Structure 1
Amino acid sequence: MSLLQLPEIRADMSLAEVNFDLRPDAIEHWEPELQAAAGDPSTSISIYGPIGATMDGSGVTARGIAAALRSIGAKDVTVNVNSPGGNYFEGVAIYNLLRQHQGKVTFNVLGMAASAASLAVMAGDDILMGTGARLMIHNAWGVAVGNRHDLAAAAAQMAPLDADMAKAYASRSGLPPERIAVLMDDETWLSADDAIGQGFATGHLDSAKVGHDRETGGSRKALAMVESAMARAGYSRSSRREAFKSLFTGTPSAAEPAMPSAGADLAASLRTTLHTLKGTNA
């Protein structure tokens, strides 16, 4: 268990149906090719994609983290992170799982820990950040649809989520909650030096521990950009799931050619789709 006295976050599941989707600015700055250069796979966990289930199945979920921790057992664990964030509730659940782990938890922030990923990182005993790595904190960010009463109710329901996140950031950093609230309101990006100086991280990560996987980076980022654009365009999760099902396995209900399923062709097709979505919403 963490050597620190970190608070449990009790997520209000009445908002579980709200779409807490990826922020476009986080995806834009995300470099998914940054991964751990080496390490002991038996005691390490990778958080290399969006937090929460994604349409292509690459998202990191609390269920997956729990399974990894069961396999590791009561040993020290290293969590390698390069994530643009994602679903609030999954981030909370991952934070709580790692906060309760029976061994020491070391986070290596290889490139980015944004949004829900930055919350999960707060469960670390040691939080090490690589050269050029960024940590981003902000208020809960989601997509709500309805009339003005629905939107007002959503805003009121989301306020406690921000308070819970602020409590975790304050406990880990030692900063007063009032200061944390300002940083969250300002949607603050922290460099390694900034994060260390303000208590969000404990040290620098040796650059030799950061590697690159350029083969999958472009496709993973394009996938995340398309899903985020579809969410902002108002497409429901079920509609997005149907679209991605068509993308990867062929069209679900019509005899049309399937889109490419791997490599550079997939990335090019996704970028074309993203460009079309942007034009539709211009």
Structure 2
Amino acid sequence: MRLKPDRAILARVHDLLAVRNSQPLPTGHVRPELAVTALAEGEGSELLLYDEIGFWGIWAVDVAAALSTVSGPLHVRINSPGGDVFDGVAIYNLIADYPDQVTVTVDGLAASAASFIAMAGDTIRMNRASQMMIHDASGGCRGNAADMKAMAALLDMISSTIASIYAGRAGGEVEEWRERMLVDGGFGTWYTAEEAVATGLADELVPLPSEPDEPTDGGQAAARAVAALFPYAMPGEDRWRLAARIPSEGSTDRSEGSTDRSEGSTDQAPAQSQPHPPAEHEPAPAPPTPEPAVEPAPEEPQPDAWASAVAHLTTPPSTEDVWDRLREALL
């Protein structure tokens, strides 16, 4: 059963809030100055609600002052544990009444009062790993039994009002949302980003950023290291170039050059040593004795080119080979 608001109770609540707001802040605490940031031309402005609601955090009067300075699309980003219900309701209404398109993104947590503030957006997005929490209103009271009963009636009325905000945005009945708010003895229900979208408390998930077309310097080093350890994970053309030790276009293979030089030295006959011309004061030396002819060594059979090319693939690499590949890839 919904309870009718008691004007006397509401007046007393407003008096208590006025007394609270007149109290000095704790020593060393400075309330954050709320401001909106202009985005790129045509993209509107951005408002950060990155603090508790009310108390020593963000007040409704701060949001009203900030919104009075902007126009065009508005992006509200939330990371807040919640706080004062009445400041939260006022902020919700300020954002809901904003004359242009409003996108709300929950960057970390939208709990308690911050969760129903998020319902004011035309589009509600849940960022990666963000969460939302809803629960019944809570408060304290000091007085006699009549005071306690009045406070209980006020809390019940406030909780039903909050449930109507969730029902109006996500669908369902107020009683269903009150049940979710009363889970775990009134501590409420926690929603992951995916669960918030599935329940209707949010419209979409913020997608992961797209990968750049070209890897960064660190990405290139990592790619070279992976290619050195796992050559078969490379694209087809590069994989077979690595398997056959074939250099890519525009590169130079040092091992191939050394093979050409060794083959060239085999084809050439050994150079004959030339005698030094005799000195003028020395007698001419006797003619050298002709050396016996040396028969050429029989030609060795040429190894199979394909077997030589894939030999390193059939032999497990040694630890030194792995370290050498890693050094070449990272340096």
Per the shorter chain, which TM-score range?
0.5 to 0.7
- TM-score normalised to the size of structure 2? 0.50
SS of equivalent residue, structure 1 residue 44: strand
Shift of 1:18: 6.6
SS of equivalent residue, structure 2 residue 68: helix
In the alignment, is residue 190 of structure 1 matched against residue 191 of structure 2? yes
- C-alpha deviations, 1:132-186, integer Å up to 9, x for none? 2111111111222223332121001222111111111100001221211111111
* 2:162 equivalent in structure 1: 165
Shift of 1:60: 1.0
Alignment of 1:125-274 (within 5 A): 125-186=122-183, 187-207=188-208
Shift of 1:109: 0.2
* 2:104 equivalent in structure 1: 107
* 1:70 equivalent in structure 2: 68
Gap regions ≥5 residues in structure 1: 1-10, 22-37, 209-282
Instruction: Return closer, same or farther for 1:112/1:197 CA change in 2, 3 Å cut-off.
Output: same
- TM-score normalised to the size of structure 1? 0.58
Separation in structure 1 between the aligned mates of residue 189 and residue 88 of structure 2, nearest angstrom: 18
SS of equivalent residue, structure 1 residue 72: coil
* 2:281 equivalent in structure 1: none
- Amino acid paired to 1:201: A
Q: Is the 8 A contact 1:130 1:207 kept in 2?
A: no
SS of equivalent residue, structure 2 residue 51: coil
Q: Is the 8 A contact 2:133 2:189 kept in 1?
A: yes
Q: Is the 8 A contact 1:84 1:115 kept in 2?
A: yes
Greater length-normalized contact order (CA 8 Å, ≥ 6 residues apart): 1
Structure showing the higher helix proportion among its residues: 1
Separation in structure 2 between the aligned mates of residue 203 and residue 15 of structure 1, nearest angstrom: 37
Separation in structure 2 between the aligned mates of residue 160 and residue 12 of structure 1, nearest angstrom: 11
Q: Is the 8 A contact 1:18 1:144 kept in 2?
A: no
Shift of 1:207: 4.9
Separation in structure 1 between the aligned mates of residue 182 and residue 208 of structure 2, nearest angstrom: 32
1:123 to 116, 120, 136: 120
- C-alpha deviations, 1:81-112, integer Å up to 9, x for none? 00000000000000001111101111110010
Shift of 1:15: 2.2
Q: Is the 8 A contact 1:129 1:205 kept in 2?
A: yes
Separation in structure 2 between the aligned mates of residue 90 and residue 148 of structure 1, nearest angstrom: 28
Q: Is the 8 A contact 1:15 1:157 kept in 2?
A: no
Instruction: Return closer, same or farther for 1:174/1:70 CA change in 2, 3 Å cut-off.
Output: same
Separation in structure 1 between the aligned mates of residue 17 and residue 98 of structure 2, nearest angstrom: 29
Gap regions ≥5 residues in structure 2: 1-8, 21-36, 210-331
Q: Is the 8 A contact 2:139 2:155 kept in 1?
A: no
Percent identity over paired residues = 36
- Amino acid paired to 1:40: L
Runs of 4+ deviating beyond 6 Å: none
C-alpha root-mean-square deviation of aligned residues, in Å? 2.7
In the alignment, is residue 40 of structure 1 matched against residue 11 of structure 2? no
Shift of 1:116: 0.6
Separation in structure 2 between the aligned mates of residue 78 and residue 145 of structure 1, nearest angstrom: 41
Shift of 1:53: 3.2
Separation in structure 2 between the aligned mates of residue 15 and residue 122 of structure 1, nearest angstrom: 25
- Amino acid paired to 1:99: A
* 1:51 equivalent in structure 2: 53
Instruction: Return closer, same or farther for 1:146/1:12 CA change in 2, 3 Å cut-off.
Output: closer
Q: Is the 8 A contact 1:108 1:129 kept in 2?
A: yes
Separation in structure 2 between the aligned mates of residue 86 and residue 43 of structure 1, nearest angstrom: 25
Q: Is the 8 A contact 2:132 2:192 kept in 1?
A: yes
SS of equivalent residue, structure 1 residue 119: helix
Separation in structure 1 between the aligned mates of residue 119 and residue 75 of structure 2, nearest angstrom: 14
